Structure 1
Amino acid sequence: MKVRVTGKNYSQEVLRSRLPVLVEFFAVWCAKCAMMADIVDDLAEEYDGLVKVCQIDIDESVDLASEFDIEIVPTFVVFRNGKPVSAANGVLDKQVLVEMMET
């Protein structure tokens, strides 16, 4: 299951999560984000209970996008214990995201 994250629930869903968190910074107008949608959905289903998959709309959560200097969408950031541990952007192979989540 994917969780939509905003400034209001960011602390609860990402920073305080007991599970590792894969965050996708995206925009509804972004064609590359649309290309990643099926992969993100698959990961949310396959890793349910192991990794929390969250999405942050950069147009709705400008403050969060700014905090992480998001200039390219999609950008993926993996958090462990509330800290970002890896990041990558653009259209990525599913295996790249899996490796990011598992390291």
Structure 2
Amino acid sequence: MSSTPSFDPDQPPERPVDLADSEALDSLVETYPRVLVEFYTDGCGICASMEPILGGLARSGVVVGTINPRNDPPLIDQFDIASVPTFVLFVDGEPVDRLSDGFVPSEELQDFATT
């Protein structure tokens, strides 16, 4: 396991954070009040097409994390990941909503992450 990264609650990241494992995920969602996490896999074309959208969201002030659950398999069961990409919205450290409908347009994902 890698060392758990630390995040600055006063300086949200302006780009998506690549999370190595569940410890990094926990650290991110516990630091910021609202976090959008994409569960993806390498080689997923739809996941790759979401990268510029996630980058735009991060630059607009949304805290975004990305994680490959194959790197930490218990995450697959913990978050019931049956398809990728799956987006999970965390509020105050808890998962509160999810989207697993494939490609999500920018405005729809922005609305999902902020309302």
TM-score (norm 1): 0.87
Once the two structures are TM-superposed, the CA of residue 2 in structure 1 deviates from its matched residue by: 1.4
Q: How many residues align?
A: 99
1:21 counterpart (32, 35, 53): 35
1:58 counterpart (66, 69, 77): 69
Residues 33 and 93, structure 2, Cα contact 8 Å, conserved in 1 = no
More strand per residue: 1 or 2? Answer: 1
The equivalences for 1:14-53 within 5 A come to 14=29, 16-47=30-61, 51-53=62-64
- The match for 2:16 is 2
Q: Which ranges in structure 2 are unaligned for 5 or more consecutive residues?
A: 1-14
Q: Secondary structure at the match of 1:9?
A: helix
CA RMSD of aligned residues (A): 1.3
Give the % identical residues. Answer: 33
Q: Which ranges in structure 1 are unaligned for 5 or more consecutive residues?
A: none
- The runs of at least 4 aligned residues of structure 1 exceeding 6 Å deviation read none
TM-score (norm 2): 0.79
2:85 counterpart (64, 74, 93): 74
Q: Secondary structure at the match of 1:87?
A: strand
Residues 25 and 65, structure 1, Cα contact 8 Å, conserved in 2 = no
